[in-house]
Amino acid sequence: MINKKTIHKNTNGRKVLLTSILCLFGLCLVAQVQTRRNVAQPARSKVYLLHADVLKKSKNNPDPNAQILVGDVVFRHDSIYMYCDSACFYEKTNSLEAFDNVKMVQGDTLFLYGDYLFYDGNAQIAQVRNNVRMENRTTTLTTDSLNYDRVANLGYFFDGGTLMDEENVLTSDWGEYSPETKESVFNYEVKLVNPKFVLTSDTLRYNTATKIANIVGPSDIDSEENHIYSELGYYYTQQGQAALLNRSVLTNGGKNLTGDSLFYDRNKGVGEAYYNVQFVDTIGKNMLTGNYCHYNQLKSYAFATDEAMAVDFSQGDSLFIHADTLQLYTFDFDTDSVHREARAYHKVRFYRSDVQGVCDSLVFASKDSCLTMYRDPILWNKSQQLLGEKIMVYMNDSTIDWAHIENQALSVAQIDSIHFNQVTGKDMKAFFKDKDMRQVDVNGSVRLVYYPMEEKDSILIGMNISETSDLKMFLENRKLKKIIMSPKSNGTLYPMSQIPSDKMKLDNFAWFDYVRPLNKGDIFNWRGKGAGQELKKSTRGSAPLPNQKLFDNNKKK
C-alpha cells in the first residue's frame, strides 16, 4: 500500500536523488569506482583452470606466457565457474579471455552468457560482449556489452540493453542491475512496457522484486484510459498505483488533474491530488481548484475542498464559485446527450461580471444553463438585489437571461444611500437584456415601494406605496419606466418632504451589500448576514445530496 504521508514528507530527499541520477555517464563511472572503494575488498585469490581438452603455448600472443585452451574449457574463481569453447589464460596476471558459448555461473541464482569474456581475477570484473544475457532467477538482462563487477555485485551496460521480469520489459541506452538488491537504474531513451501501460523516461529506477518504478526524471505513462506526466515519484506496476510529486499531471478524456502530490489507482480509476490542485475539463470547459481533489474517471466525477473554487468558462464570461465542497458530475456521458453539473455545498459565494450571489448550496447544470441557489440565496445585478427561498438563474450564451425567485421574493434597487425601490411577493420572475434587468413579474401578495422620477433630470417626485395581486414592472437604464398592476391599485403617493420614516421600507426589507462578492478573489471571504435579517421560517427546497441522481434516464458505465 502507498504511504501517502511518507511520500509527501520525503519530497526533498527525492529531489536530491533526481540530481544524482541525472549525472553524465562519466560521473556514473566515477561513482562506480567509489562504490567499489566503499565495499570491503576481499583478499586476492587465484583463478584456476579446471579443464580443457587441449592446452598449448601461444605463438602469436603478445604474452609469451599465455596458455591457449581449446575444447570444454572450465575455470573457477572463488565461488564462480566460467565455461567456454576456447580461451587464453594469463596465469601471471590472474586473468583470462574466453571465446564462444561463454557461460559464467555464480551459485544457483546468477548466470551470465555471451560470445566473449575478459575476466580480471584481481579486480573481479567480467567484461562480456556480443549476445550477452544475464539471468537472475526470474529476471533476464540482454545486451551486447555488459560489465559485471563481482565486488559491488553490479552489472551495467552502456550500448543499449533490455531487462525483463514477470511483469515488465525495460529498455534503455545505459543501465545497471544489482542481482543482490534487485535494484536497477536506467538512463537515456528509457522505456518500460507493461501489458496495461507504457512508461517512457530519460531516467528511471526499478526494483525487479517489488516491481516498483521510481521516477526520477521527466516521464510519461500512457495507457488506453489515460496519460500521466511526472518528474518524481513511484509507480507500483503490480498494483497499478502511483504516488507522484512535483506537479504531476493525470490526463483522461480531456480532463487534467494536477497537484503538488498526486495519487492514482488504475484499477479503481481514482485519482487524488493534494495542495495547489487544478482539475480542468477542457471539453466541458470548467475547472476545480483547491488543496484536495478526488477524481473518479469511471464515473466521470470529481470533487474539491479546502480553498475550493469552481470556474465555468463554457460561456463568454467566466463564473467563479467558492464553497466548502465543490463537485463536478457528468451525466449520460456514454450518449449523445452528455451534460454536466457543478454542485456547491455550504458558504457558497460566486462572482461573474454581470451577476453575483451568496447562498448555502448551489447547482449549475449545463443541460439548461440554469444556476439554482438554495437556502437564503441572494442575487445581485448591478444596483439590483434579489432574494427569496430559492432562486433559479438561467443563462443565455455569456449573459444572464432571466431569474425565478420562489417564496418570500424581494427585489431591491438602490437609488441613493437612503432611497430604495422595493417590491415583494410570493413568486417573482426577473428578465434581463444586455446584462441589465428590463422586466419584473411578481405574483401573489404583491407590495411595493417605489420612487417616481422626473424623466429629464431624474429628480425624485415622491414615494409610492401600493398593494396588488399581480405586478409587471418595466425598467430602462436601471430606472423604473412603467408599472402594470392587476387588479389596479391607486396606492399612496407621498411628496418627498412628507414621507413617513416608517413607510420608507417594506417590513421584509433587507439590503445585503456588505456580503456581496466584489470580485473573483473576494469569493473566498465569507461574510454572513447580520442578526435579525433572516427569512421567515418555512418548508424550503434543498440542494440535491452528494451523489444523488437528478435524472432517471442517466446511463452510467
More confident residue, 434 or 251: 251
- State the pLDDT confidence band at 198, using cuts at 50, 70 and 90: very high
Written in H, E and C, the secondary structure of 49-110 is: EEECCEEEECCCCCCCCCEEEEEEEEEEECCEEEEEEEEEEECCCCEEEEEEEEEEEECCCE
**Stretch 552-557: mean pLDDT:** 38
The pLDDT value given to residue 365: 86
**Stretch 381-393: mean pLDDT:** 92
The conformation of residue 498, written as its DSSP 8-state character, comes to G
- State the pLDDT confidence band at 39, using cuts at 50, 70 and 90: low
The residue count for the chain: 557
pLDDT at 360 over 70: yes
Architecture (CATH level 2) of domain 277-503 = Sandwich (2.60)
Other Cβ atoms closer than 10 A to 178? 18
Among 39-43, 305-309, 389-393, 436-440, whose mean pLDDT is lowest?
A: 39-43
What are the backbone dihedrals phi and psi of residue 114, each rounded to the nearest 5 degrees, phi first?
180, 180
Q: What is the average pLDDT value for the chain, to the nearest integer?
A: 86
The residues spanned by each domain of the chain are 277-503
Amino acid identity, position 292: Y
As a whole number of angstroms, the distance between CA 86 and CA 72 comes to 7
Q: Which residue has the cell 567456454?
A: 84
Q: Is the peptide bond before 487 cis (omega within 30 degrees of 0)?
A: yes
Greatest mean pLDDT among 163-172, 373-382, 494-503, 532-541 lies in 163-172
The pLDDT value given to residue 276: 96
pLDDT at 7 over 80: no
pLDDT at 295 over 80: yes
**Stretch 58-68: mean pLDDT:** 79
DSSP structure string for 327-394 = EEEEESTTSTT-EEEEEEEEEEEEEETTEEEEEEEEEEETTTTEEEEESS-EEEETTEEEE-SEEEEE
158: left (phi over 0), alpha (psi -120 to 50) or beta: alpha
pLDDT at 289 over 90: yes
Helices (H) and strands (E) in the chain, counts: 3, 38
The pLDDT value given to residue 242: 96
**Stretch 366-372: mean pLDDT:** 87
Q: Give the dihedral of Cα atoms 10, 12, 14, 20; nearest 10 deg.
A: -150
* 415 three-class SS: coil
Convert the pLDDT of each residue in 113-148 to its tens digit.
Answer: 999 999 999 999 999 999 999 999 999 999 999 999
Among 76-85, 193-202, 360-369, 496-505, whose mean pLDDT is lowest?
A: 360-369
**Stretch 210-219: mean pLDDT:** 96
Q: Which cell goes with 138?
A: 526470474
Among 206-220, 401-415, 526-540, whose mean pLDDT is lowest?
A: 526-540
Strand ranges, E, within 376-504: 378-381, 384-387, 390-396, 399-414, 420-433, 436-450, 462-476, 479-486, 492-495
Q: Do 104 and 82 touch, CB atoms closer than 8 A?
A: yes
Amino acid identity, position 283: I
CA distances from 119 to 131, 149, 380 (A): 17, 10, 84
Contacts of 385 (CB under 8 A, 6+ apart): 378, 379, 411, 412, 413, 414, 511, 512, 513
pLDDT at 535 over 70: no
The pLDDT value given to residue 298: 87
What number of CA atoms fall less than 13 Å from residue 58's CA on the CB side? Answer: 17
Q: Distance between terminal CA atoms of the chain?
A: 27
Among 92-96, 222-226, 263-267, 329-333, whose mean pLDDT is lowest?
A: 329-333
As a whole number of angstroms, the distance between CA 399 and CA 391 comes to 16
What are the backbone dihedrals phi and psi of residue 233, each rounded to the nearest 5 degrees, phi first?
150, -165
pLDDT above 70 as % of the chain: 86
The pLDDT value given to residue 407: 92
Convert the pLDDT of each residue in 401-456 to its tens digit.
Answer: 999 999 999 999 998 889 999 999 999 999 988 888 899 999 999 999 999 888 77
Q: Do 422 and 505 touch, CB atoms closer than 8 A?
A: yes
- State the pLDDT confidence band at 286, using cuts at 50, 70 and 90: confident
The pLDDT value given to residue 37: 46
The pLDDT value given to residue 82: 98
The pLDDT value given to residue 449: 94
Q: Give the dihedral of Cα atoms 433, 438, 444, 450; nearest 10 deg.
A: 150
The pLDDT value given to residue 424: 95
User: By CB neighbour count within 10 A (0-12 exposed, 13-18 middle, 19+ buried), where does 541 fall?
Assistant: exposed
More confident residue, 382 or 544: 382
The pLDDT value given to residue 555: 39
The pLDDT value given to residue 545: 63
Q: Which residue has the cell 489507482?
A: 265
**Stretch 8-24: mean pLDDT:** 38
Q: Which cell goes with 77?
A: 574463481
Amino acid identity, position 119: Y
Strand ranges, E, within 223-308: 227-230, 232-236, 241-252, 255-265, 270-281, 286-296, 301-305
**Stretch 353-366: mean pLDDT:** 90
pLDDT at 9 over 70: no
What are the backbone dihedrals phi and psi of residue 134, each rounded to the nearest 5 degrees, phi first?
-110, 125
pLDDT above 90 as % of the chain: 65
The pLDDT value given to residue 540: 53
As a whole number of angstroms, the distance between CA 545 and CA 355 comes to 25
pLDDT at 181 over 60: yes
**Stretch 370-393: mean pLDDT:** 92
Q: What b-and-e string marks burial along 222-238, b requiring 16 or more CB atoms within 10 Å of the CB? A: ebeebebbbbbbbbbbe
Q: Which cell goes with 520?
A: 473573483
**Stretch 36-52: mean pLDDT:** 76
Among 239-243, 267-271, 332-336, whose mean pLDDT is lowest?
A: 332-336
**Stretch 188-205: mean pLDDT:** 96
More confident residue, 366 or 67: 67
The pLDDT value given to residue 551: 39
CA distances from 449 to 32, 58, 360, 444, 532 (A): 88, 119, 29, 16, 21
The pLDDT value given to residue 533: 65
Q: Which residue has the cell 444611500?
A: 417
- State the pLDDT confidence band at 528, using cuts at 50, 70 and 90: confident
Among 28-32, 233-237, 424-428, whose mean pLDDT is lowest?
A: 28-32
